[in-house]
């Protein structure tokens, strides 16, 4: 034993007091209780690990295993015999495993297990302290998947580590949040790009809102990762002890619900949880389940809206738009079901249905209408579709099946989907090489606008309806439209104005040089039978002056 503990020969006397003085103060009671139990029960082996003071001053874990060797006539133990082993390395490994079980490997932050324990402790305290308040902030990063997909998982992991460091630095007492209160703040990574912050012993909701607002700013600042400058905003859901239920999983669920509401309403913001959101989520889940069956149940249909030349108003093409007629809810807006289809993985099947239906309809129109048929068919693509590995082959098959020329198909993508996404741009290049026309939809609403045109293989742009609607109300928007049309003309890009609802808007857009128009003034989205009748009955519009 002297050798294990590093003491010189004769330094330790075989007396109980000597050994008790070597035992760590926190282990003395455990040692004594275990020894007493052994002395009472002759059949048990005395086996226990305790910390002993090494000659160097450090503590060493020693495993004792033995039993009573000699007893007096009265049954009193006279001598213990056994072995002592240095188990310090084993204990260190056990501690490492315990730490690993509670720590996120990538960021070294506490993990979900720890956060759940902390929330449970906060809930228990709330039950006995009516004036006690806490809050949970659930964070998800808005562009993380795009960073991972375009720059690779190594850069994505580096981003997560930098996010963790910013959280730690921001939440450390005495740093940037010092003025936000004396309450404790703990951050954890609970999976993927999801982080949770617990604010303990706050004064009320305003403290949580203040911290969330500061985190929006701190986490939105650019990150430099392996030579790449990346900006990734965060959406935050806030739940406070005032508005949540009495178990940790429900607290996290409610914070998660609020976070998704922040994403739904525009991202890069925080939303305070309201119990009414639970019923909305339940409704969303029900809608998702119905959406998964909608194609099989033939509830989806494709309608068509005409595009006309400006100023002559000759038919320039039609755009295919998907509609969902729910058997109970009635017409469900694409604004609601398209994002849901992307989120639940239905978008690929839905997109294929729209593309194939549109191509077959185009072929039918050519047969039925001959020279008066629309010269092109436009179909919208989502980011999820653009990232599907089989998209190019699917487009090729749809064209072949309808005996349709690639130039007769126009695929529309929004600028925010296409810009700064290498995989999407590669897909667009392949489609363009096939001969398919590409159009940039909702132009002017993304973050790159004119600057992204030289990066994308598009042949036309569609000016967003929000600009057209403000044409006669805002000089600023008029100037933007004029600048866009000039740049498009310089780059030899076609131009389409969306959302034309009045004769005046059609006249103004034509006067500024816009080539085509689309909107309720010309025709609403309609079933194919109605479209055929509209084309056949259409007379040249009175010239607009």
Q: What is the pLDDT of residues 476-493, one digit of tens each?
A: 888 888 988 998 898 899
For residue 545, pLDDT beyond 50: no
CA dist., res. 156 & res. 150, Å (int): 9
- Tell whether domain 284-535 is in CATH 3.20.20.450: yes
CATH of 2-95, one of 3.20.20.10, 3.30.160.250, 1.10.287.3510, 3.30.450.20: 3.30.450.20
422 CB-contact burial (10 Å; exposed 0-12 / middle 13-18 / buried 19+): exposed
User: Comparing C-alpha atoms, which of 329, 195, 339, 334 is closest to residue 264?
Assistant: 339
Instruction: Give the confidence band of 543 by pLDDT, cuts at 50, 70, 90.
Output: very low
Predicted confidence at residue 450, as pLDDT, reads 58
Predicted confidence at residue 499, as pLDDT, reads 92
Lookup: tokens for 184: 């404790």
- H/E stretch holding 462 reads strand 460-463
* C-beta of residue 321 within 8 angstroms of C-beta of residue 498: no
For residue 461, pLDDT beyond 60: yes
Predicted confidence at residue 366, as pLDDT, reads 95
* C-beta of residue 14 within 8 angstroms of C-beta of residue 28: no
CA dist., res. 463 & res. 470, Å (int): 12
* C-beta of residue 254 within 8 angstroms of C-beta of residue 239: yes
Report for 17-26, 37-46, 409-418: range of highest mean pLDDT:
17-26
For residue 416, pLDDT beyond 70: no
CA dist., res. 539 & res. 545, Å (int): 18
* C-beta of residue 211 within 8 angstroms of C-beta of residue 170: no
For residue 95, pLDDT beyond 80: no
- Domain locations along the chain: 2-95, 102-274, 284-535
* C-beta of residue 327 within 8 angstroms of C-beta of residue 277: no
Predicted confidence at residue 178, as pLDDT, reads 38
* C-beta of residue 147 within 8 angstroms of C-beta of residue 156: yes
Q: For 120-128, what is the mean pLDDT? A: 92
For residue 229, pLDDT beyond 50: yes
User: Comparing C-alpha atoms, which of 517, 452, 519 is closest to residue 488?
Assistant: 452
Show Cβ contacts of residue 223 under 8 Å, excluding neighbours closer than 6 positions.
Answer: 159, 162, 163, 229, 230, 231, 232
Predicted confidence at residue 63, as pLDDT, reads 86
Instruction: Give the confidence band of 446 by pLDDT, cuts at 50, 70, 90.
Output: very low
Lookup: tokens for 320: 């295919």
396 CB-contact burial (10 Å; exposed 0-12 / middle 13-18 / buried 19+): middle
For residue 117, report the phi and psi dihedrals to the nearest 5 degrees.
-60, -45
Lookup: tokens for 86: 């240095």
Least-confidence region, from 15-29, 71-85, 171-185, 364-378: 171-185
Cis peptide before 30 (omega within 30 of 0): no
Superfamily of domain 102-274: Reverse transcriptase/Diguanylate cyclase domain (3.30.70.270)
Q: For 315-323, what is the mean pLDDT? A: 96
* Other CB atoms within 10 Å distance of the CB of residue 336: 15
User: Comparing C-alpha atoms, which of 266, 310, 482 is closest to residue 474?
Assistant: 482
Question: Average per-residue pLDDT in the chain?
Answer: 85
């Amino acid at each position: 034993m002297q050798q294990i503990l590093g003491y010189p020969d004769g330094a330790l006397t075989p007396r109980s007091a000597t050994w008790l003085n070597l035992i760590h103060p926190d282990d003395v009671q455990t040692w004594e209780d275990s020894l007493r139990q052994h002395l009472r029960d002759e059949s048990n082996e005395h086996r226990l690990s305790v910390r002993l003071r090494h000659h160097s001053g450090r503590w060493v874990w020693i495993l004792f295993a033995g039993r009573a060797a000699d007893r007096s006539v009265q049954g009193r133990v006279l001598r213990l015999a056994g072995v002592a082993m240095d188990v310090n390395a084993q204990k260190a490994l056990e501690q490492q495993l315990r730490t690993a079980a509670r720590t996120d490997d990538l960021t070294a932050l506490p993990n979900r297990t720890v956060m759940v324990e902390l929330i449970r402790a906060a809930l228990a305290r709330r039950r006995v302290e009516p004036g006690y308040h806490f809050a949970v902030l659930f964070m998800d990063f808005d562009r993380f998947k795009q960073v991972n997909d375009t720059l690779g998982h190594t850069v994505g992991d580096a981003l997560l580590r930098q996010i963790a460091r910013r959280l730690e630095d921001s939440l450390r007492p005495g740093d940037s949040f010092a003025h936000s209160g004396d309450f404790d703040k703990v951050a954890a990574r609970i999976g993927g790009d999801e982080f949770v912050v617990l604010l303990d012993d706050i004064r009320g909701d305003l403290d949580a809102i203040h911290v969330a607002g500061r985190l929006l700013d701190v986490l939105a600042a650019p990150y430099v990762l392996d030579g790449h400058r990346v900006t990734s905003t965060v959406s935050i859901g806030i739940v406070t002890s005032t508005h949540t239920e009495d178990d940790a999983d429900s607290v996290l669920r409610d914070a998660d619900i609020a976070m998704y509401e922040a994403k739904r309403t525009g991202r890069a913001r925080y939303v305070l949880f309201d119990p009414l959101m639970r019923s909305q989520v339940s409704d969303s889940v029900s809608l998702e389940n119905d959406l998964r069956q909608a194609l099989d149940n033939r509830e989806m249909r494709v309608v068509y809206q005409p595009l006309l030349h400006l100023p002559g108003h000759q038919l320039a093409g039609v755009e295919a738009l998907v509609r969902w007629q729910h058997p109970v809810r009635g017409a469900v807006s694409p604004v609601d079901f398209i994002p849901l289809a992307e989120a639940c993985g239905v978008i690929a099947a839905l997109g294929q249905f729209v593309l194939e239906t549109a191509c077959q309809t185009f072929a039918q129109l050519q047969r039925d209408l001959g020279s008066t048929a629309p010269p092109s068919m436009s179909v919208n693509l989502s980011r999820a579709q653009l990232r599907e590995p089989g998209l190019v082959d699917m487009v090729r098959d749809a064209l072949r099946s309808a005996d349709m020329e690639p130039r007769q198909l126009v695929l529309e993508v929004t600028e925010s989907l296409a810009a700064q996404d290498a995989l999407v741009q590669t897909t667009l290049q392949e489609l363009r090489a096939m001969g398919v026309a590409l159009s940039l939809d909702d132009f002017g609403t993304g973050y790159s606008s004119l600057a992204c045109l030289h990066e994308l293989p598009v042949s036309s742009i569609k000016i967003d309806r929000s600009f057209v609607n403000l044409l006669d109300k805002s000089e600023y928007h008029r100037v933007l439209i004029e600048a866009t049309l000039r740049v498009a003309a310089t780059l030899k890009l076609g131009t389409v104005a969306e959302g034309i609802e009045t004769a005046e808007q059609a006249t103004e857009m034509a006067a500024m040089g816009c080539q085509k128009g689309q909107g309720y003034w010309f025709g609403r989205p309609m079933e194919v039978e109605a479209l055929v009748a509209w084309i056949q009955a259409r007379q040249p519009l009175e010239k607009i002056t």
